[in-house]
Amino acid sequence: MQEFDPHVLDEKPIPPPEEFSKKAHVKSLEEYRELYAEAKADPEAYWAEQGKLIEWAEAPKKTLEWNPPHAKWFVGGKLNVSYNCLDRHLEKNGNKPALMWEAEDGSTLQLTYAELFERVCKFANVLQGLGVKAGDCVAIYMPMIPEIAVALLASARIGAVHSVVFGGFSATALADRIADCKAKILVTADGSFRRGKMLALKDTADAALEKCPTVQKSIVVQRTKQEVKWKEGRDLWWHELEEMAEKECIALPFDAEHPLYILYTSGTTGKPKGVLHTSAGYLVQCTWSTRLVFDMKDDDVYWCTADIGWVTGHSYVIYGPLSNGASIVMYEGAPDFPRKDRFWEIIDRYKVSIFYSSATAIRAFMAWGMEWITPHDISSLRLLGTVGEPINPAAWKWYFEAIGKNRCPIVDTWWQTETGSIMISVLPGATPAKPGSATLPLPGIAARVVNMKGESVAPGETGYLIIERPWPSMLRTIYGDDERYAKEYWTRIPGVYFAGDAAQCDKDGYIWVLGRVDDVIKVAGHRLSSMEIESVLVSHPAVAEAAVVARPDEIKGEAIVCFVALRTGFEPSKELRDTLMDHVANMIGSIARPADVRFTPLLPKTRSGKIMRRLLRELATKGAVSGDTTTLEDMAVIERLVKAQTDDEE
């Protein structure tokens, strides 16, 4: 296993603020331990009970059917996910704000539950009118505008399977994903705003659609009003369709295991994985974890800053909060536009009480400084959260003091696209926090840190994070590839779920997640695959071979470093370096733009021809190359490292 920076394992626990605990859903560590023990003694009974958090059209007959590695949860139950997020709140909360949206230019839109319900019903009718049936796939490639929430819920309402592709991905990446899920419809926008600039989203979508014969219609939200090319017969304006649509759309019940969405994520090969989530188990666990981890109450104003293009946006912008009937804030743009205080301004304006963001954002705020925060009244905050990567204790403490004013608990939530919802986290009224640790598994979650034989490692030893038992919101498979699903998650350590993270467990049972053990790179919390970037690099005519690794980055967590061997006839140059960086950004998206490209005559390999990534990682991290040359000429460095690694292996 690669080496990880050991975390500060001797941090003193910080007890939950007393005032907070008094009113919390779970009030003490003892209460948490009781819940955990109860769930452990009879997991199915525990989850059957949590199943009551949602409304069923038909009650489930059996809680779990487990034919490893395939699970079915709430078997025989029937429900409608959009009904649970909308209809069931109408009687009591029809006039409560569901969505409070702020555009980058400062304009706002508020939708009550009744209004959101109506827009979802109309758009569900639009989709049905275009021939979308239960089980069909709807691809969504949109900015952070209210219509993206409507599109997700409308798909769910009619049993269509949505597949959201993050708006920052390139045409090629979008096309690959649409082709894999065979979407019939694409929902997109003319453009999007980013730091005051207009981005031509439809142009990118159109380029992707050239390669996507399954897509019959493209529904386009008019957001920027920029000029767009129009393909008659395929392209349709959202507002025109919505205007003509009927208001009524009955939420028909679907099977508990009916697919809800496919979300592509990066894995250990160049090909992204279509993580498949189904309806009931996913919704139950999102609803339950939102309530427990964010201690959600009726009068909370909740803001999760994630983009809906990622799993956090699915589970904790849309499904979890709306199923709980919460008021959510959604913001279209960048945190530093027009100034670096935009987030604090928003918190003040909407009186946000729960704020959930990424470790990268927190580190950026810390670097920008207090002068952006002090002028704003952020005293409405009562709970803070972080997700996506390990948060270093220094950033944690800054978050606690500067934003939380020492009175807001921080929930450091560990989970993955595959797990569907939060698995390991502080319970804010119960768990004493240790800065840098996601702390303890939630009730019902059998998380452990083990060696390759599946044996628990001793406190302070690094091992692999695994989950021993199935959980309701787990992925059901990789879309179209059961074999890869079984192999990647359930056979590395036989019989248990292999998360792909290295971790340590301390003497109090606290889990410290250290980072990935596979080729996944986390840049600003965005999940990318080194293999995917490598295959893009070698698709360039100048490149013979490429190896991609991560080096630590103070703000973004990790940054991408590419080692490239050129084909005969090509010489290293600054221009070629820039070209290759552009090539990666164009083929995948600007989030994948390398921080560095280094030329090397050859890549260090083992005798069997495997690229020695660990060695390159070390080289990228410690920057053992002299001068500011872009060429990795110092072969002595490689030789030394190769020797060190070979000695290590023998």
Q: Which of 80, 204, 285, 312 binds ligand WTA (CB under 6 A)?
A: 312
Shortest distance, position 178 Cβ to ligand WTA, whole Å = 20
Q: Is 276 in the site for ligand WTA (CB under 6 A)?
A: no
Q: How far is CA 312 from the centre of its chain?
A: 4
Binding positions for ligand WTA, 497-516, rule CB under 6 A: 499-501, 513, 516
Residue that the structure tokens 């031509």 belong to: 200
Q: How far apart are CA 647 and CA 650, in angstroms?
A: 5
Shortest distance, position 514 Cβ to ligand WTA, whole Å = 8
Q: Which of 311, 354, 433, 612 binds ligand WTA (CB under 6 A)?
A: 311
Q: Is 176 in the site for ligand WTA (CB under 6 A)?
A: no
Q: Is 265 in the site for ligand WTA (CB under 6 A)?
A: yes
β-strand pairing of 497-505 with 463-467: antiparallel
Shortest distance, position 523 Cβ to ligand WTA, whole Å = 11
Shortest distance, position 424 Cβ to ligand WTA, whole Å = 7
Binding positions for ligand WTA, 340-369, rule CB under 6 A: none
Shortest distance, position 520 Cβ to ligand WTA, whole Å = 7
Element (H, E) at 467: strand 463-467
Q: Which of 278, 417, 421, 504 binds ligand WTA (CB under 6 A)?
A: 417
Two structure tokens written together for 84: 């649970």
The piece of 122-130, 321-329, 415-423, 548-556 that touches ligand WTA (CB under 6 A) is: 415-423
b/e per residue 39-70 (b: at least 16 CB within 10 A): beeebeebbbebbebbebeeebeebbeeeebe
Q: Is 261 in the site for ligand WTA (CB under 6 A)?
A: no
Q: Which of 160, 185, 438, 523 binds ligand WTA (CB under 6 A)?
A: 438
Q: By three-state DSSP, how is residue 515 classified?
A: strand
Element (H, E) at 464: strand 463-467
The piece of 36-44, 221-229, 308-316, 549-557 that touches ligand WTA (CB under 6 A) is: 308-316
Shortest distance, position 373 Cβ to ligand WTA, whole Å = 23
CA angle 388, 389, 395 (to 5 degrees): 110
Binding positions for ligand WTA, 64-123, rule CB under 6 A: none
Shortest distance, position 425 Cβ to ligand WTA, whole Å = 8
Q: Which of 20, 331, 356, 415 binds ligand WTA (CB under 6 A)?
A: 415
Q: Is 187 left (phi over 0), alpha (psi -120 to 50) or beta?
A: beta
Q: How far apart are CA 563 and CA 620, in angstroms?
A: 9
Q: Which of 50, 413, 473, 477 binds ligand WTA (CB under 6 A)?
A: 413
Two structure tokens written together for 89: 């709140």
- Fill in the DSSP letter of residue 84: I
- Dump the DSSP string for 373-431: TTTS--TT--EEEEESSPPPHHHHHHIIIIITTTTS-EEEEB--TTT-S--B---TTTP
Residue closer to ligand WTA by CB (options 190, 412) is: 412
Q: How far apart are CA 189 and CA 198, in angstroms?
A: 12
Q: Is 412 in the site for ligand WTA (CB under 6 A)?
A: yes
Shortest distance, position 534 Cβ to ligand WTA, whole Å = 20
Shortest distance, position 22 Cβ to ligand WTA, whole Å = 26
Shortest distance, position 165 Cβ to ligand WTA, whole Å = 14
Q: How far apart are CA 590 and CA 593, in angstroms?
A: 5
Q: Which of 46, 319, 414, 498 binds ligand WTA (CB under 6 A)?
A: 414
Q: Is the dihedral of CA 412, 413, 417, 418 positive or negative?
A: positive
Q: Does 338 sit behind a cis peptide bond, omega within 30 degrees of 0 on the bond before it?
A: yes
Residue closer to ligand WTA by CB (options 147, 389) is: 389
Q: How far apart are CA 70 and CA 80, in angstroms?
A: 23
First to last CA, the chain: 15
Residue closer to ligand WTA by CB (options 287, 439) is: 439
Shortest distance, position 363 Cβ to ligand WTA, whole Å = 13
Residue closer to ligand WTA by CB (options 69, 385) is: 385
Q: How far apart are CA 426 and CA 429, in angstroms?
A: 8
Residue ranges of E strands in 170-240: 185-189, 192-194, 197-199, 217-221, 235-237
Q: Total residues contacting ligand WTA (rule CB under 6 A)?
A: 22
Cβ count near 12 (within 10 Å): 8
Q: Does 390 sit behind a cis peptide bond, omega within 30 degrees of 0 on the bond before it?
A: no
Q: Which of 192, 287, 416, 431 binds ligand WTA (CB under 6 A)?
A: 416
Residue closer to ligand WTA by CB (options 499, 560) is: 499
Shortest distance, position 499 Cβ to ligand WTA, whole Å = 6
Two structure tokens written together for 101: 């949206």
For residue 301, list its beta bridge partners. Answer: 327
Per-residue contact string for residues 513-552; x = within reach of ligand WTA by CB under 6 A: x--x-----x----x-------------------------
Shortest distance, position 9 Cβ to ligand WTA, whole Å = 15
Residue closer to ligand WTA by CB (options 123, 415) is: 415
Two structure tokens written together for 429: 């009224």
Q: How far apart are CA 87 and CA 80, in angstroms?
A: 10
Which residue lies nearest ligand WTA, judged by its C-beta? 417
Shortest distance, position 335 Cβ to ligand WTA, whole Å = 19
Q: How far apart are CA 530 and CA 518, in angstroms?
A: 9
Q: How far apart are CA 468 and CA 385, in angstroms?
A: 26
Binding positions for ligand WTA, 382-401, rule CB under 6 A: 387-390
Instruction: Single out the residue of 248, 216, 251 nearest to residue 235, CA to CA.
Output: 216
Residue closer to ligand WTA by CB (options 311, 366) is: 311
Shortest distance, position 305 Cβ to ligand WTA, whole Å = 13
Residue closer to ligand WTA by CB (options 341, 389) is: 389
Instruction: Single out the residue of 602, 589, 472 nearest to residue 536, CA to CA.
Output: 589
Count of alpha carbons within 13 angstroms of residue 630, beta-carbon side: 16
Cβ count near 380 (within 10 Å): 16
Residues that bind ligand WTA (CB under 6 A): 265, 310-312, 387-390, 412-417, 438, 499-501, 513, 516, 522, 527
